[in-house]
Amino acid sequence: MLKPDAVQNGHAGAILDHILKAGFRVVAMKYTRLSEDTAGKFYAIHRERPFYGELVRCMSSGPIYAAILEKENAVEDFRNLIGATDPAKAAPGTIRQLFAKSIEANAVHGSDSDDNADREGNFFFSEFERF
Ligand code: ATP
Ligand code: MG
């Protein structure tokens, strides 16, 4: 996902350029907005964390781009491309170091396992929206 802060700040095109140049293929993509309810379900895994309410508010604050990306070793390579959760700690040249504002408004979301990538892809896309 390209998160609301990245879209609002006009970074969506530049971030997508980084992703494509890193060798990811777009299988599906849409421009949409999460309601608080939907954002809460997407991040339900973090329900008990202290930042959950703020995370849900942040993720529903504006439109996002959701995408399914494909590549060998995609989960690990994408996380290396985006950098650490906190942009202040993200390595130079990573998407979060270049484009993120704060630990909560951190520009992009990446799945943390193949299983969660499947689950999250199914959250946004039907089989007819994948190419
Ligand atoms: P994501 O799952 O969005 O790709 P991540 O895997 O790097 O990020 P997680 O630990 O899964 O980090 O946290 C999910 C999201 O919750 C983060 O991307 C960030 O927006 C928010 N978040 C995480 N830790 C904090 C924190 N300490 N304070 C505020 N927000 C946080
Ligand atoms: Mg995560």
* pTM summary value: 0.96
Task: Give the pLDDT band of residue 113 (cuts 50, 70, 90).
Answer: very high
Per-residue pLDDT band at 13 (split at 50, 70, 90): very high
Is 122 a domain residue? yes
51 lines ligand 1 (CB under 6 A): yes
For 115, the domain range is 4-33+65-129
Q: If you measure from the C-alpha of residue 2 to the centroid of ligand 1, how many angstroms do you get, rounded to a whole number?
A: 13
Number of domains in the chain: 1
* Nearest-angstrom CA–CA distance, 74 and 66: 16
Single-letter amino acid code for the residue at 84: A
Distance 127 CA to ligand 1 centre (A): 28
- Look up 18 and say whether it is catalytic: no
State in Å: Cα 13 to ligand 2 middle. Answer: 22
Find out whether the beta carbon of 106 lies less than 6 Å from any atom of ligand 1: yes
The CATH number assigned to the domain holding 120 equals 3.30.70.141
- What pLDDT is stored for residue 109 in this prediction? 98
- Could you read off the pLDDT of 88-106 as tens digits, one per residue? 999 999 999 999 999 999 9
**Domain membership flag for residue 125:** yes
Residue 64 beta carbon below 6 angstroms from any ligand 1 atom: no
Q: Specify if 119 maps to a domain.
A: yes
Q: The tokens of 114 are what?
A: 């193949």
